[in-house]
């Protein structure tokens, strides 16, 4: 169960982080570092020159970082680190997670109705980055323009080429469900997980076999389009949003007054006598949530959470409204993410770890065989 920080060099004590240590990683604050002279950086407690710039993150022993931040940092070093401190990811050592896992295991065995609420973090091991955090899309997008200048032109060209490849986006058709997706499906089959609410559009819950009538995809599904007249859903083996979004020159293009993108796909409903236009199901910023398709939207999700004893929150920063209010309706909340969330202090349990690590520990404690 190797963590992202294991065997990485701590940028304060200059020794390796091992599996028995609490560790953390944060983006390199390259914008402000690039403006500083080497003589200034050499006086810093944090040894930024030891960073692996290919990852654009720095790793620390948690105790090293917080024994120095903020009081032992110079004013210049403090200003540098504050650029990225909100994107800290913390990873607890396995031994410190075990007591919580034991209590959570008992909770699952003793409760009658459970829901899971998932965010981008559950899909990381499939190849999809998160939006926030040390290596999140939003974090990287901001920091790509803040890279430390280098005299090595070949390295800079390689970085630019990698950026171009990233711009092509993720090929969702090639993605496979993670261990966490498969574990949730198995828990559903064992009546340990009754309903799934997700903010993700990748269809990995569906691909893992989680029943679609027990699945609420709040923000859409890249493989699903629906009729705007009769609401019939069409599940495709290709990404329907390729035919919508920014297809400005297509005859079916209509700019959405709310998100300013296009939702039409150019296809029509095949239900007899309907022939309504088909739309993608992606909920962009400023769009309303669906209230009929993909599980019934927020109202249905709220109903399910109110019925639930446990809401298991996996890989979500719990920042996107109104979805981030859903866990509060359940009796108990288990939050699993290496990022800090506004819900941490209210949650029954908060585990700073990856989703896959959580399920390996939980299934072991519950004497369940991990799915292949």
Residue 314 lies in a domain: yes
Task: Quote the pTM value.
Answer: 0.87
Residues 248 and 316 in one domain: no
Residues 233 and 367 in one domain: no
pLDDT 10s digits, 263-297? 999 999 999 999 899 999 999 999 999 999 999 99
Host H or E run for residue 356: helix 355-365
Phi-psi region of 332 (alpha: psi -120 to 50; beta: other; left: phi over 0): beta
Number of domains composing the chain: 3
Peptide bond into 322 cis (omega under 30): yes
Asked whether residue 191 carries a pLDDT value surpassing 80, the answer given is: yes
Residues 273 and 333 in one domain: no
Mean pLDDT of 327-349: 96
Residue 43 lies in a domain: yes
Asked whether residue 2 carries a pLDDT value surpassing 80, the answer given is: yes
Q: Say what angle helices 355-365 and 179-189 make with each other, to 10 degrees.
A: 40
Residues 77 and 200 in one domain: no
Residue 155 lies in a domain: no
Residues 304 and 372 in one domain: yes
Q: Which domain holds residue 253?
A: 225-288
pLDDT 10s digits, 28-82? 998 889 889 989 999 999 998 887 656 789 999 999 999 999 999 999 999 999 9
pLDDT of the residue at 52: 63
Residues 86 and 72 in one domain: yes
Task: Please tell me which residue in 61, 205, 219, 290 is annotated as part of the active site.
Answer: 219
Q: Which residue has the higher pLDDT, 209 or 161?
A: 209
Mean pLDDT of 307-332: 96
Residues 117 and 185 in one domain: yes
The string of DSSP codes covering 55-85 is TTEEEEEHHHHHTTTTTTS-HHHHHHHHTTG
**Domain end position, chosen among 247, 272, 288:** 288
pLDDT of the residue at 25: 94
Residue 151 lies in a domain: no
Mean pLDDT of 208-227: 97
CB atoms within 10 A of CB 97: 22
Residues 347 and 307 in one domain: yes
Residues 303 and 319 in one domain: yes
pLDDT of the residue at 306: 98
Q: Which two tokens stand for residue 28?
A: 């390199």
Residues 112 and 178 in one domain: yes
Mean pLDDT of the chain: 89
Residue 162 lies in a domain: no
pLDDT of the residue at 128: 86
Q: Which residue has the higher pLDDT, 328 or 165?
A: 328
pLDDT 10s digits, 149-187? 333 333 333 333 333 333 356 899 999 999 999 999 999
pLDDT of the residue at 168: 54
Res. 140 pLDDT band, cuts 50 70 90: very low
Asked whether residue 320 carries a pLDDT value surpassing 60, the answer given is: yes
Phi/psi for 185 (5° steps) reads -65, -40
Residue pair 121/337 in contact (Cβ under 8 Å)? The answer is yes
Residue 194 lies in a domain: yes
Residue 14 lies in a domain: no
The string of DSSP codes covering 141-191 is HHHGGGPPP-S-HHHHHHHHHHHHHHHT---GGG----HHHHHHHHHHHTT
Is 61 one of the annotated active-site residues of the chain?
Answer: no
Please write down the long-range contacts of 11-18, taking CB distance under 8 Å and 24 or more positions apart. 11/46, 11/47, 11/48, 11/50, 11/51, 11/58, 11/59, 11/60, 12/45, 12/46, 12/47, 12/60, 12/61, 12/64, 12/65, 12/68, 13/61, 13/64, 14/47, 14/50, 15/61, 17/59, 17/60, 17/61
Residues 197 and 334 in one domain: yes
**Domain end position, chosen among 248, 266, 288:** 288
Rounded to whole angstroms, the Cα distance separating 10 from 165 reads 30
Residue 270 lies in a domain: yes
CATH number of domain containing 343? 3.40.50.1220
Res. 247 pLDDT band, cuts 50 70 90: very high
Residues 239 and 200 in one domain: no
pLDDT of the residue at 301: 97
Residue pair 307/113 in contact (Cβ under 8 Å)? The answer is yes
Asked whether residue 237 carries a pLDDT value surpassing 70, the answer given is: yes
N residues, the chain: 372
**Domain end position, chosen among 272, 288, 304:** 288
């Amino acid at each position: 169960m190797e963590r992202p920080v294991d065997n990485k060099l701590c940028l304060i004590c200059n020794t390796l982080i091992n599996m028995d240590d609490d560790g953390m990683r944060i983006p390199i604050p390259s914008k402000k570092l690039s403006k500083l002279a080497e003589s200034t950086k050499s006086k810093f407690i944090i040894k930024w020159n030891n960073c692996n710039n290919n990852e654009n993150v720095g790793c620390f022993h948690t105790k090293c970082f917080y024994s120095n931040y903020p009081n032992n940092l110079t004013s210049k070093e403090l200003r540098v680190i504050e650029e990225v401190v909100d994107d800290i990811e913390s990873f607890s050592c396995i031994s410190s997670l075990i007591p919580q896992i034991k209590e959570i295991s008992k909770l699952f065995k003793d409760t009658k109705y459970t829901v899971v609420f998932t965010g981008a973090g559950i899909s990381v091991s499939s190849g999809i980055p998160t939006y926030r955090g040390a290596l999140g899309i939003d974090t990287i997008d901001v920091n790509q323009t803040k890279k430390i200048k280098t005299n090595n032109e070949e390295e800079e060209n390689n970085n630019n080429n990698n950026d171009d490849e990233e711009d092509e986006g993720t090929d969702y058709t090639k993605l496979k469900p993670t261990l966490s997706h498969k574990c949730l499906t198995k828990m559903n089959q064992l009546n340990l997980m009754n309903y799934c609410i997700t903010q993700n559009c990748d269809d990995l819950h569906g691909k893992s076999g989680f029943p679609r009538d027990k699945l609420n995809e709040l923000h859409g599904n890249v493989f699903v389009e629906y009729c705007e007249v009769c609401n019939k859903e069409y599940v495709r083996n290709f990404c329907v949003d390729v035919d919508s979004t920014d297809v400005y020159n297509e005859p079916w293009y209509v700019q959405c007054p709310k998100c300013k993108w296009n939702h039409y796909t150019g296809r029509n409903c095949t239900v007899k006598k309907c022939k309504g236009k088909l739309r993608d199901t992606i909920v962009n910023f400023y769009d309303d949530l669906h209230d009929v398709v993909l599980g019934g939207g927020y109202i249905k999700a709220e109903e399910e959470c109110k019925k639930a004893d446990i809401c298991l929150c996996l890989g979500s920063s719990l920042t996107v409204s109104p979805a981030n209010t859903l866990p509060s309706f359940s009796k108990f909340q288990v939050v699993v993410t290496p990022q800090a969330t506004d819900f941490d202090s209210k949650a029954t349990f908060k585990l700073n770890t990856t989703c896959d690590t959580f399920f390996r520990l939980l299934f072991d404690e519950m004497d369940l065989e991990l799915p292949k």
